[in-house]
Chains A and B, each alone.
Chain A
Amino acid sequence: TQLLEQSPQFLSIQEGENLTVYCNSSSVFSSLQWYRQEPGEGPVLLVTVVTGGEVKKLKRLTFQFGDARKDSSLHITAAQPGDTGLYLCAGVNAGNMLTFGGGTRLMVKP
């Protein structure tokens, strides 16, 4: 069974602070996806990283895929209250199935 561990599980910060969320596994994934889920809604895809070492930026969000394609990180610069939500990483395996991490619940206080 492929497992994805996310850390931290919970994060409460003030507006304007920076933060990093980690997604780690002992397994190699062909690609990795990051989602954000808000209460009462389904997850929404933020980004897909495919190549080892790849870095993608989405405004204040920076996503990195590890060289060995086993881990990933999400860095948010100058967090805003609108960034509040549950952040999920999901690895794509050889069977084209998504394995989700446990999630990081982020709260950004004004």
Chain B
Amino acid sequence: KAGVTQTPRYLIKTRGQQVTLSCSPISGHRSVSWYQQTPGQGLQFLFEYFSETQRNKGNFPGRFSGRQFSNSRSEMNVSTLELGDSALYLCASSRYQVADTEAFFGQGTRLTVV
């Protein structure tokens, strides 16, 4: 079966701009979680969506937002980009809760803010 698809794979943006990243989960999976991975901070949880509702949220500023559509596809948006937002953004899908059932990660979107 098809895996988790994240688009785009690479992105370069300028400070102050906004960006939207997309994640298509595995068919049948209703939970999508987003993570930010940086060399200094490691993998940090952003938020989780389940059936179009945000179920959990990490400790990130309000510039980071997300949503989930009825087909379980999810997008995350970062507004007013800062240099420190440069990171690999990963999404993970699971059938129910990411912590209860196996989570499958996408390849990530590498965002560079210049």
Which residues on A are within 8 Å of B, measured CB to CB? 1, 30-31, 40-45, 48, 88, 90, 92, 95-103
> A42 contacts B100, CB within 8 Å?
no
Interface size bucket, B side? 20 to 34
B106 to chain A, nearest CB (A): 5
18 extra A-B contacts, CB within 8 A, seeds A1-B59, A41-B108, A90-B43:
A31-B99, A42-B90, A42-B104, A42-B108, A43-B90, A45-B102, A48-B102, A88-B42, A96-B98, A96-B99, A97-B56, A97-B58, A98-B45, A98-B98, A100-B35, A100-B44, A101-B42, A102-B42
Residues in B whose Cβ lies below 8 Å from that of A45? 102-104
A44 and B59 alpha carbons, distance in the complex (Å):
24
Residues in A whose Cβ lies below 8 Å from that of B58? 97
A42 and B6 alpha carbons, distance in the complex (Å):
10
A103 and B90 alpha carbons, distance in the complex (Å):
16
Q: Mark B34-58, 1 if CB is under 8 A from A, else 0.
A: 0100000011110010000000101
A103 and B106 alpha carbons, distance in the complex (Å):
18
> A100 contacts B42, CB within 8 Å?
yes
B33 in contact (CB, < 8 A): yes
Given the known interface contacts A45-B102, A96-B56, A96-B98, the answer about A103 and B42 at a Cβ–Cβ threshold of 8 Å is yes
Q: Can you name 25 A-B pairs with beta carbons within 8 Å?
A: A1-B59, A31-B99, A41-B105, A42-B107, A42-B108, A43-B90, A43-B105, A48-B102, A92-B99, A95-B56, A96-B56, A96-B97, A96-B100, A97-B45, A97-B48, A97-B56, A97-B58, A98-B45, A98-B98, A98-B99, A99-B45, A100-B44, A101-B42, A103-B42, A103-B43
